[in-house]
Amino acid sequence: MRPPAEAIGELALVVGGIALLIFIGVEGALIYAVWRYRPSRLSAGEPARFEQNTRLEIAWTAAPAVVLAVVFVLMLGTMAEIGGASVEPGLRVRAVGHQWWWEFGYGGVTTANEMHIPVDTPVELELASTDVIHSFWVPELGGKTDMLPGTVNHLRLFARRAGVYQGQCAEFCGVEHAWMRIRVVAESQADFDRWLAAQGQPAATRGGDGEHVFLANICVNCHAIRGTGAAGIAGPDLTHVGARATLGAGVLPNDLARMRAWLADPQQHKPGALMPRVPLADTELDSLAAYLVSLK
């Protein structure tokens, strides 16, 4: 398999080439007619007319139909290829759109906003939504497919080279639609296996101040941290939140200072986000931020 984006890009070039040829033909004929029948030559009389010329009318009806049929067949081939029907996926990931973040499920392992995939492996995404219509799009790795509440759509991703690929929700889904970024880390199979094994571990609980603040406040209504009593599912799973590169689906880089600022007032950084401002003392914010960034 090759990256679906390559197949899509190739089709776009072919269709663009056909369109360019037609453009040159039509504009060329127009320019020729303007020149050929310019006023200084009209003294020779009116040019011939083409009314009720059956052959011509059939020709210029059939030509576009043939062009469209060719494009249609080419497109069917590309759709079949990027759908990957003939290639067994090496990995299946469940991706769920939420207002305004992403949930990724690898079997029993749940994470958010940042997905890892092995390179050179066809990845089958099962796309769902818990609220409104979102659209999953990482342009360099695959096509764009809607996530619809109540139904499961499928999308193939394929990365040839290791690296970080940026994606974005591509269907307007509410006030923070623009801050629904997707970060895909493509890495070697060994690195991916290590990452997945680490994600599968419960959080190392220390019973420290930060953990206490988390468990004693409304954080637990929405968030899960495996290994503690927190098992909320409305918001992102935070078991290894410290290992992610960003906060709020891309709105802030993830470090201690930004984590603290985010916790102090999410609405200041992502207005409309469903995470409310939780009134906490400064010392509580310090220990909670330190605890969360420590969850690697």
Contacting positions for ligand CUA (CB under 6 A): 97, 100, 134, 169, 171-173, 177, 180
We find the least distance from the C-beta atom of residue 168 to ligand CUA, in angstroms, to be 8
Q: Which two tokens stand for residue 4?
A: 């679906």
Query: Residue 127 or 141: which CB sits closer to ligand CUA?
Result: 127
Query: Residue 100 or 106: which CB sits closer to ligand CUA?
Result: 100
We find the least distance from the C-beta atom of residue 17 to ligand CUA, in angstroms, to be 33
In three-state secondary structure terms, 115 is strand
Terminal alpha carbon distance of the chain? 33
We find the least distance from the C-beta atom of residue 178 to ligand CUA, in angstroms, to be 8
We find the least distance from the C-beta atom of residue 177 to ligand CUA, in angstroms, to be 4
Q: Which two tokens stand for residue 208?
A: 């420290």
Measuring CA to CA, which residue among 295, 153, 151 is closest to residue 211? 295
**Phi and psi, residue 180, nearest 5°:** -125, 70
Query: Residue 159 or 173: which CB sits closer to ligand CUA?
Result: 173
Query: Residue 250 or 266: which CB sits closer to ligand CUA?
Result: 250
Residue 56: which residues within 8 A CB-CB, separation 6 or more?
A: 50
Query: Residue 18 or 148: which CB sits closer to ligand CUA?
Result: 148
Query: Residue 149 or 202: which CB sits closer to ligand CUA?
Result: 149
**Phi and psi, residue 164, nearest 5°:** -105, 125
Burial of 104 per CB tally in 10 Å (0-12, 13-18, 19+): buried
We find the least distance from the C-beta atom of residue 175 to ligand CUA, in angstroms, to be 10
Is the dihedral angle over the CA atoms 230, 234, 236, 237 positive or is it negative? Answer: positive
Burial track 27-53 (b if 16+ CB lie within 10 A, e otherwise)? eeeeeeeeeeeeeeeeeeeeeeeeeee
Rounded to whole angstroms, the Cα distance separating 225 from 81 reads 39
We find the least distance from the C-beta atom of residue 82 to ligand CUA, in angstroms, to be 22
Cβ contact 4:145 at 8 Å? no
We find the least distance from the C-beta atom of residue 270 to ligand CUA, in angstroms, to be 13
Query: Residue 84 or 167: which CB sits closer to ligand CUA?
Result: 167
